[in-house]
Structure 1
Amino acid sequence: MMTVARFSPRQRGKLLLAVLPWLGAAALAVAPVAAPAQGAYPAKPIHLIVAYPPGGLTDTLARAVGDGLSRQLGKTVVVENKGGAGGIIGTDYVAKAAPDGYTLLMTIPGPITSNLALYKKLPYDPRTDLRPVSDIATARTVLAVNSSVPARTVAELLSYAKASPGKLRMGSWGAGTQPHTIQTYFARQYQIDMLHVPYRGEGPMVTDLLAGQVNVTVGSVTALKQHFATGKLRPLAVTGTRRAQALPDVPTFTEAGYADEPFRLTGPITLMAPAKTPQDIIDRLGRETASLVASADMQRRIADMGAEPLGTTPAQAEAAYKAYLPVVLKLTADTGVTLD
């Protein structure tokens, strides 16, 4: 028979005091260890993807924004060029990236608008796979020719094209981009023979434009204006409803007598993120970007690029995209642009 020890109240008190430290240690040993709290965003470098090679407006603007956001967020923003397939490769990369705010996209309208009409099956759907963070700036573009082309106005260019079939070769930074749209519209509306020559990006296209491999384009003011000063290229007209701030002496297409819709449409360069990125991260990026674009230094840098600053909120950028998309899709269909 087992004997049960009996303790007086005083003995029980001493025993409890003796074992309490051991009980506390044992409890700590078996208790689950709490996971460390996740650090505030951003906790590591951010990758900003440009879907075109270096040298064009999108790349230049991305690097300026990346520098500014690096200072404001306290983490490095690394700009990566993933060009090819009219912007599809880089855009798809971001659309399929982890939605954690560490992979972003800087894009012109084409990959997120007209590509929907140009390709029967895209590897991404910009309407559901991506979301706007901020419209950074309006990209101003200009119809320009190599100095070897004997034209100083839009009318003279069209007259030259009719008199010299096949002599004009319009370079673009990819199928479905604004130069391609306008080249197709010129050909259909004014019955001219003009060859479309697509490139992987604006930088390579400008190189060949200067060399005369192509002799006409609609390119960004950013990439072309320095060559107007040297006389190697000649501006004829800017797109949009008003003159470009960086080219105040160059008329709009409307002022030149061509008020057609393809010549009046301009679009933003937009910062985007994967669609499922948490709202608090989108809001943080939107605030920081809008603040950056509103700064005097960034306003000046964007103006020097030949673009016009915007710096919208995520909600404003989303609303603008939803309004802009059907207009571009209709224009793409109306101009008859097809893939080469």
Structure 2
Amino acid sequence: MKQTIPPRRRWVMRAACAAVALLPLATFAQGSYPSKPIRMVVPYPAGGLTDTVARQLAEGLGKRLGQPVVVENRGGAGGIIGTDFVAKSPADGYTLLMTIPGPITANIALYKKLPYDPRTELRPISDVAMARTVLTVNSAVPVKTVTELIAYAKKEPGKLRMGSWGPGTQPHTIQAYMDKTYGVDILHVPYRGEGPMVTDLLAGQVNLTIGSVTTLRQYIAVGKLRPLAVAGTTRAKALPDVPTFTEAGYSDAAYKIVGPTTLLAPAKTPDAIIERLGREVSALVKSPELSAKIDELGAEPIGNTPAEAERAYKAYLPVVLKLTADTGVTLD
């Protein structure tokens, strides 16, 4: 005997089928994320702090996600090339960005036609580590303190050359600030990343820099470079004997700003993917193993959530933009 389905029940069944049909395919895809290797773009050449932290994170993240996480260096133009590549990539969780603040903060003020807007085209996943930096001179420069450096710069105008890993980065900002504040003449020499800059610093092609503790401390330890002061409000764990700028007698805001190394994704990446990556990165960074490795690198582990990283970015951005404007930094 044929069973008759009541009209109301038929209507409910049809509505349910229609609702399922309208669900985005991404809803189903997210359940299996990731199903292929993930690319983590570093907008600087290999060898610097950002690259080193990225490779440490990628190794552990790949194990937790069950798919390889491959670091790809796309350096150039002060981090613009790699950052723009990620901002314009498909928002599917398979192309991520690991960067220091410059490309997503100061570049907004430095470039009139920046090809991307980090405020609308990228979203934070997690601040992985706090990058500590140190004002360092080549051992041939006859100074041991910040005060002696300023006096030497006044005595020898144009003789000092300050290397940076790109226009608008912290070394460039400090160089411009010193020129403006103390009436000195220090030449800014931009590089495509910290690695190439350090090579020339050791060779004496440039005399000083504000560089990452991660990269510079090995040369400080053997006397090839001389540290003068660390940026930030506290001493760096990896250089406990080096004073802060404030301890050295310079409490200006320009010397207190430190920024994180942050993992980001294209802005339209689904919330479910961002939250999954955020949980994994946070747990990984806070694990004893990776936390110890980050400490060993001379950085300080953070591993916050996507929401916390977003709030931190919104608070940090106006401070950097104001400092960039106040210091008079311009592009070469």
TM-score (normalised: structure 2)? 0.91
Structure-2 separation of matches of 1:69 and 1:214: 37
Give 2:19's aligned residue: none
Structure 1 unmatched runs, 5+: 1-34
Give 2:55's aligned residue: 63
1:108 aligns to 2:100 (yes or no): yes
* CA deviation string 1:218-277 (max 9, x = no partner): 000011000011111000000000000000000000000000001001111100000000
Structure-2 separation of matches of 1:274 and 1:181: 28
Structure-2 separation of matches of 1:128 and 1:260: 31
1:45 aligns to 2:44 (yes or no): no
CA RMSD of aligned residues (A): 0.9
Which of 248, 265, 268 aligns to 1:256? It is 248
3-state SS of 1:270 partner:
strand
Which of 226, 234, 239 aligns to 1:234? It is 226
Give 1:213's aligned residue: 205
1:166 offset after TM fit, Å? 1.2
Give 1:183's aligned residue: 175
1:172 offset after TM fit, Å? 0.1
**Could you tell me which amino acid in structure 2 is paired with residue 44 of structure 1?**
K
Structure-2 separation of matches of 1:299 and 1:247: 17
What are the residue-to-residue correspondences of 1:139-154 with 2, within 5 Å?
A: 139-154=131-146
Which of 306, 309, 328 aligns to 2:301? It is 309
Structure-2 separation of matches of 1:197 and 1:223: 18
- Provide runs of 4+ in structure 1 moved above 3 Å: none
Structure-2 separation of matches of 1:318 and 1:227: 35
Matched residue pairs, number? Answer: 305
Which is higher, the Rg of structure 1 or of structure 2?
A: 1
3-state SS of 1:79 partner:
strand
1:210 offset after TM fit, Å? 0.2
**Could you tell me which amino acid in structure 1 is paired with residue 293 of structure 2?**
R
1:168 aligns to 2:160 (yes or no): yes
3-state SS of 1:320 partner:
helix
Structure 2 unmatched runs, 5+: 1-24
3-state SS of 2:238 partner:
coil
Give 2:88's aligned residue: 96
Percent identity reads: 71
Structure-1 separation of matches of 2:114 and 2:178: 27
3-state SS of 2:137 partner:
strand
**Could you tell me which amino acid in structure 2 is paired with residue 293 of structure 1?**
V
TM-score (normalised: structure 1)? 0.89
Higher mean alpha-carbon deviation, 157-166 vs 127-136, is at 157-166
Which of 65, 72, 92 aligns to 1:73? It is 65
3-state SS of 2:114 partner:
coil
Which of 247, 268, 272 aligns to 2:264? It is 272
* CA deviation string 1:178-201 (max 9, x = no partner): 000000000000001100000000
Structure-1 separation of matches of 2:223 and 2:286: 34
**Could you tell me which amino acid in structure 2 is paired with residue 210 of structure 1?**
L
**Could you tell me which amino acid in structure 2 is paired with residue 84 of structure 1?**
G
1:165 offset after TM fit, Å? 1.0
Structure-1 separation of matches of 2:316 and 2:203: 35
